[in-house]
Amino acid sequence: MTSGETNHYRKLALRASPSERAQQAAEELTDRADWVSMEEADAVVVLGGDGFMLHILHQMLHENRVIPAYGLNLGTVGFLMNRYHSSRSPVQKISRARSIAVAPLLMTAVTQSGEEHQFFAINEVSLLRETRQTAKIEVLVNGKPRIAELACDGVLLATPAGSTAYNLSANGPILPLDSKMLALTPISPFRPRRWRGAILPDRSKVSFRIREPEKRPVAAVADQREIRDIAEVHLEICRDRALTLLFDPGHSLDERIVTEQFIV
């Protein structure tokens, strides 16, 4: 949406996290709109923090009905949310919001027993050692081996939307939302000692294969979903399941990503 345009969302749903603050805000907003169910709505107002927003987004992906989501922060970080003001109607604010498309990662994980699992990840997919033993992981990009054996606590692949989450804590790069890049970041790498990760085009297909899995078991986590004892993981952007986040002017995800890089 360009400056000066307005959104025309006629049917809004309201979803609130179980937290006391979010539930109180939901009560305050009850009479401020003719709220409808998620099935009827053409946009949803989400009250809570980033975790609850991810829960709602994943719910929409699972049900294969994706509508724009406008978050109001009643949690802690609120990176995916807008500021909440009890005196302002979200109906008026959402009409002026900017839309940002966010394409999730599709993870296909194969376990040591041969079972295959598929999950979406909006922030990142991380591989983590399950025991005290260092994980040993082969890293492939577009089918080509790039690191034969990464000895580490783990490794992750983050989207631009997730680059300021776990990826940032692991000293990975912050990616602008429109960068069309992915951050491949090791977690406490031991060898190769000098490898600190890579920035890849988001058209890349990234795979991980686990070395010595019986001695060094590894789990894969797609946002909040975990699969243990994996043999290999394949990742790629799923463009046909893109999500839409709505942000107030001046408080878009782009601006937050830029701001985060100047926090000292």
| Close Cβ partners of 210 (under 8 Å, ≥ 6 residues apart) | 135, 136, 137, 138, 216, 217, 218, 230, 231, 232
| Close Cβ partners of 194 (under 8 Å, ≥ 6 residues apart) | none
Residue 121, annotated ligand binder?
A: no
Residues annotated as catalytic are: 50
Residue 251, annotated ligand binder?
A: no
Residue 165, annotated ligand binder?
A: yes
| Close Cβ partners of 250 (under 8 Å, ≥ 6 residues apart) | none
Residue 229, annotated ligand binder?
A: no
Q: How distant, in Å, are the alpha carbons of 72, 84, 241, 243 from that of 224?
A: 21, 25, 18, 17
Ranges of beta strands (E only) in the chain are 12-16, 43-48, 69-73, 98-102, 105-111, 116-121, 124-129, 135-141, 144-152, 154-158, 181-187, 198-201, 206-211, 218-222, 225-227, 230-237, 243-247
Q: Tokens 């089918």 correspond to what residue?
A: 143
Which tokens in the block code for residue 111? 């376990």
Residue 171, annotated ligand binder?
A: no
Nearest to 216 by CA among 131, 112, 99: 131
List, as residue ranges, the binding site for NAD(+).
50-51, 55, 123-124, 153, 161, 164-169
* Annotated binding residues: 50-51, 55, 123-124, 153, 161, 164-169
